[in-house]
Chain A
Amino acid sequence: MACVEDLNKEIVLSGASFKEAREYVEAHCIEIYYVEPGFRLFEKHIIGIPPIAIGLDGDMVLFPFTKPCYGTFLIRAEHAEEAARLRSLGLKTTKEKK
């Protein structure tokens, strides 16, 4: 399992609001899974406003990554193992706001 810092990644959005990052995933990905805050992705507990959208395209994973001083980044990383794990978990594929 790779840590976020060690991933070969592309930053799709930087300094975005969390909402902007979610909207980007929903507008650009066909395969989307929704997770809750604290969900473990790339060895980190994801920070986010539920429901948190993660997009998949083959082995590419598109996900938000929030840092206190820099806002939310939307990151695209190729990682077959994590993509397969996400597909295997039976996650929600539709947005159900809590």
Chain B
Amino acid sequence: MRSLIQLSDVEIDSLIREPKTAPASLLPLRLIERNKHRRKDYPVSSTSGNEFVIAVRQAVPNPLNFSVILMYRVPGYNTLFRLCRYNGRHGKHTNEIEGNKIEDECHIHKATERYQKLGGDEEGFAIETTRYSDLNGAVQCLLADCGFAPPPPNPQGNLFAGTTP
């Protein structure tokens, strides 16, 4: 069981809000399929020198089961810290500390100090959302919420190409 607090709530909020540039290759999404899920990780750097990764996942049997994750590479640590995760509909989620359940709806996970103290995953807390209903919508929400400059215009005019069969 982990007990170490890697990042405080203030640090988490600051990292999420920090200005970043969306990777040029992010949109339209072109994911690689392996093990019956599509995925791709996009490195993101910021002017501060902090290193982030946007990880995109989508299950092939159920394309509504997807995740868009903003991760942060904590200097000196071996693993990536998941700051927030925009999930699709994969079934229920339970907030262990608050005791409430989210039914089969889109929800946004966010890292917190209290869930790190609990010893579970840092982003164990989630709130239900109706702001998006598909993978591309989740990507747009993450970009809007996490300090990203607007993505470059798409020359093909089809933001949603190459994501779902």
A-B complex is real: no
